[in-house]
Amino acid sequence: MTSTATTSPAVTAIAARATGVTKAYGTGDARVLALDDVDVAIEAGRFTAIMGPSGSGKSTLLHVLAGLDRPSAGTITIGDADITEMSDKQLTLLRRDRIGFIFQAFNLLPTLTAAENIALPSKIAGRQPDPLWVQSVVETVGLGDRLSHRPSELSGGQQQRVAAARALAGKPDIVFADEPTGALDSRSGEELLRFLQHAVREMNQTVVMVTHDPAAAAHADRVLFLSDGDIVDEMHNPTSDEVLEYMKKLGA
């Protein structure tokens, strides 16, 4: 017997969506199709990891979703906004006001303290961040008395946690992280991933992370697998071993 809808499916808000997204680089013989007709919805309040072999299109997908690069075809929405319709200026403002970024290189300003680095994006935007929110981000990131230190006085792991706190301080609609643990030792990487996990589970943030590391991907709620420019599969609440096995199947 097939059961008809006795319970309605949970309605999940979509933080970002790609529809029919293609990204080509170069022309003629040198043309590379980095993304080939990708459709994906990134759910709000969840931690999504993007994995795939080298050259499969992970960074390109992250960059077009985040409005750092424009697709050759297809549409990207952030919340209700179609960012592919936006002018460069509108896109810059959207990135500034609604998106948080964490890159492999921490990109902190060396002359500012950790606390000043965290506050900088809001300051540039002329916004007064919610002090209680910033306090909870800073407490969770566990930097304690290091907040008054400059980046050169912090370990790589501490610097990346400052960068993560900076990305979250403005309470963005979505945070994009490109290989955020790539330059960290495994213990520092684990601390950063726990912080991102906490930001999603306890603070209802939305995080999308590209990673090469199955152990990092296992911190996510959902892992998307890319191969040759398209999403070929996904896993929910995976273990590191399950992700590793699947990556072997993809020939990575």
* Smallest distance from ligand ATP to CB 27, Å: 11
Whose Cβ is closer to ligand ATP: residue 58's or residue 161's? Answer: 58
* Smallest distance from ligand ATP to CB 32, Å: 5
Joined together, the tokens standing for residue 34 give: 């980095």
Whose Cβ is closer to ligand ATP: residue 13's or residue 20's? Answer: 20
H or E element that contains 233: strand 230-236
**Please, what's the b/e burial string for 155-191 (b: 16 or more CB within 10 A of its CB; e: otherwise)?**
eebbbbbbbbbbbbbbbbbbbbbbbbbbbbeeebbbb
CB–CB of 119/103 below 8 Å? no
The burial of 208, by beta-carbon neighbours within 10 Å (0-12 exposed, 13-18 middle, 19 or more buried), is given as buried
Joined together, the tokens standing for residue 56 give: 């499969």
* Smallest distance from ligand ATP to CB 179, Å: 8
Joined together, the tokens standing for residue 245 give: 């096995």
Start-end of H helices in the chain: 58-65, 88-98, 114-125, 131-141, 156-169, 186-201, 214-217, 240-249
CB–CB of 105/179 below 8 Å? no
3-state helix/strand/coil string of 21-80 = EEEEECCHHHCEEEEEEEEEEEECCCEEEEECCCCCCHHHHHHHHCCCCCCCEEEEEECC
Measured distance CA(147)–CA(17) in Å, rounded: 36
* Smallest distance from ligand ATP to CB 74, Å: 15
Whose Cβ is closer to ligand ATP: residue 56's or residue 206's? Answer: 56
Binding site for ligand ATP (CB under 6 A): 25-26, 32, 34, 52, 54-60
* Smallest distance from ligand ATP to CB 58, Å: 4
